[in-house]
């Protein structure tokens, strides 16, 4: 009998040999996190303003979250949706409390939440068409949108870099200009079932819907019996200082997709639908094995607990004002490098005059992690618990990089 030899291989080598190559990853292996900081395998600390792309709402290893997950892991992890579990019921109740009367469906990711919304749009269209399938099915989305990598969401994402190689796509999507109500209105016809937008486009460069545009979409949906589908996967769960970003505009959604920050690092997604749309799903027409496990819901409940107990919505609102002000001053001081700063709360995009990749690398070398986004944008996504000092530190590091490149 041969004993297997123990080969010590570096993480970089393991990735090179065995992990699919669909990401252009930074040459950085992260091994530990606490609060707003992460450490690499050489012991270097970084201020994590990626939050795992808007996921780690409470930062890393928040004690309340860790205790809740540890407790639940020792109690019951998974039972499928063939049975009830108390955490799913309680989480649905809490989310209905934030979104309004309606119902929640749990899934595992943002893409899956978006697929569920698109399926609700199809069912709504069928109902509008008197129960006939395939007559009313169009969804109008926005140019530059991002709704995930599965076929429905990808078909609603009119970007060559995302769709190339995967055609033919799902039919039935048309695209209007963000913040131009007339361009959406012109696309509505008898075949249209829904309008789908990100309240703030995250992946394509932090482009917010204006409140007037959102209110206009709401009116259009009411007039033409369309569902208003709001993708809050990136901008929701407190990131802008309201639980949902569309609350700033005072509008009502028919369906909301959420994920990312909801689990604070545990994969979980959800769709909330208002009472009318929620009835469209009936036993058998949608589902997922892992959605709403006791463990994932315990994590999400812990996120909501901390958002409420630590008053993180108020914190994001208060702390983001001075921070955005400091970033705007950098834009004034370095006009050759920065075009503009936009966004809200802790979802901020800094549009650079050139490719942001060298800035991402230079910031990393100085201990700050940020995410590039479309249109030459550097995205700053601090955890909701980031302190005023940590926000100020990010500006200081950014200024040093801008000075070095000036």
Q: φ, ψ for residue 359 (rounded to 5)? A: -70, -40
Determine the Cα–Cα distance for residues 37 and 16; give it in Å rounded to an integer. 26
| DSSP state letter for 225 | T
Binding status of residue 110 toward ligand PLP by CB under 6 A: yes
- Stretch of 18-26, 108-116, 168-176, 396-404 lying at the interface with ligand PLP (CB under 6 A): 108-116
* Cβ 396 to ligand PLP shortest distance, Å: 28
Binding status of residue 270 toward ligand PLP by CB under 6 A: no
- What part of residues 117-156 is at the interface with ligand PLP (CB under 6 A)? 146-148
Of 147 and 242, the one with the shorter C-beta distance to ligand PLP is: 147
| DSSP state letter for 249 | G
Q: Which position among 48, 114, 115, 247 is part of the footprint of ligand PLP (CB under 6 A)?
A: 114
List of residues 6+ apart from 263 with CB closer than 8 A: 55, 296, 299, 300, 303
CA distances from 282 to 168, 210, 258 (A): 29, 35, 21
Of 128 and 344, the one with the shorter C-beta distance to ligand PLP is: 344
Binding status of residue 199 toward ligand PLP by CB under 6 A: no
Maximum pairwise Cα distance, the chain: 75
* Cβ 84 to ligand PLP shortest distance, Å: 25
Of 173 and 334, the one with the shorter C-beta distance to ligand PLP is: 173
Binding status of residue 198 toward ligand PLP by CB under 6 A: yes
3-state helix, strand, coil in the chain (%, to 5): 40, 20, 40
Structure-token pair, residue 112: 């899956």
The closest of 52, 53, 276, 297 to 61, measured between CA atoms, is 52
Determine the Cα–Cα distance for residues 74 and 62; give it in Å rounded to an integer. 18
Q: What character string, x for contact with ligand PLP (CB under 6 A) and - otherwise, covers 47-86?
A: ------x---------------------------------
Of 233 and 256, the one with the shorter C-beta distance to ligand PLP is: 233
Residues annotated as catalytic (active site), given as ranges: 146, 231, 260
Binding status of residue 203 toward ligand PLP by CB under 6 A: yes
- Stretch of 70-78, 127-135, 198-206, 270-278 lying at the interface with ligand PLP (CB under 6 A): 198-206
Q: Which position among 48, 231, 254, 390 is part of the footprint of ligand PLP (CB under 6 A)?
A: 231
Of 136 and 257, the one with the shorter C-beta distance to ligand PLP is: 257
Any bridge partners for residue 341, and if so which?
A: 350
Query: Read out DSSP for 259-304?
Result: -GGGGBTB--EEEEEEHHHHTT--TTSS--SSTT-HHHHHHHHHHH
Rule CB under 6 A: which residues touch ligand PLP? 53, 109-111, 114, 146-148, 198, 202-203, 231, 233-234, 259
């Amino acid at each position: 009998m041969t004993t297997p030899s123990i080969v010590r291989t570096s993480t970089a080598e393991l990735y090179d040999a065995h992990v699919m190559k669909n990401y252009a990853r930074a040459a950085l292996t992260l091994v530990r996190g606490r609060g707003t900081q992460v450490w690499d395998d050489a012991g270097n600390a970084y201020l994590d303003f990626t939050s795992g792309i808007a996921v780690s709402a409470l930062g890393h290893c928040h004690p309340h979250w860790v205790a809740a997950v540890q407790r639940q892991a020792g109690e019951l992890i998974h039972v499928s949706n063939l049975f009830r579990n108390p955490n799913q019921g309680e989480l649905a109740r809490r989310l209905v409390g934030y979104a309004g009367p309606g119902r929640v469906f749990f899934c595992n990711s943002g893409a899956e939440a978006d697929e569920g919304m698109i399926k609700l749009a199809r069912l709504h269209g069928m109902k509008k068409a008197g129960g006939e399938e395939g007559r009313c099915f169009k969804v109008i989305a926005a140019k530059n949108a991002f709704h995930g990598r599965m076929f429905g969401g990808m078909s609603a994402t009119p970007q060559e870099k995302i769709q190339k190689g995967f055609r033919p796509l799902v039919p039935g999507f048309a695209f209007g200009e963000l913040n131009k109500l007339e361009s959406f209105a012109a696309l509505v016809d008898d075949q249209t079932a829904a309008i789908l937008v990100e309240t703030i486009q995250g992946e394509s460069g932090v482009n917010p819907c204006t409140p007037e545009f959102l209110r206009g979409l709401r009116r259009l949906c009411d007039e033409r019996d369309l569902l208003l589908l709001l993708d809050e996967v990136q901008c929701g769960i407190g990131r802008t200082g309201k639980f949902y970003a569309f609350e700033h505009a005072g509008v009502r959604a028919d369906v909301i997709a959420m994920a990312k920050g909801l689990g604070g690092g545990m994969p979980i997604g959800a769709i909330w639908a208002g009472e009318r749309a929620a009835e469209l799903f009936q036993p058998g027409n949608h589902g997922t094995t892992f959605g709403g496990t006791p463990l994932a819901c315990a994590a999400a409940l812990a996120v909501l607990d901390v958002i409420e107990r630590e008053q993180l919505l108020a914190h994001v609102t208060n702390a983001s004002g001075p921070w955005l002000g400091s970033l705007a001053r950098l834009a004034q001081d370095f006009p050759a490098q920065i075009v503009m700063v936009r966004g809200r709360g802790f979802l901020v995009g800094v549009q650079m005059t050139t490719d942001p990749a060298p800035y991402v690398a230079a910031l990393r070398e100085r201990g700050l992690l940020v995410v590039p986004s479309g249109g030459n944008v550097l995205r700053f996504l601090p955890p909701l618990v980031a302190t005023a000092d940590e926000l100020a530190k990010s500006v200081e590091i950014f200024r040093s990089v801008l000075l070095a490149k000036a």
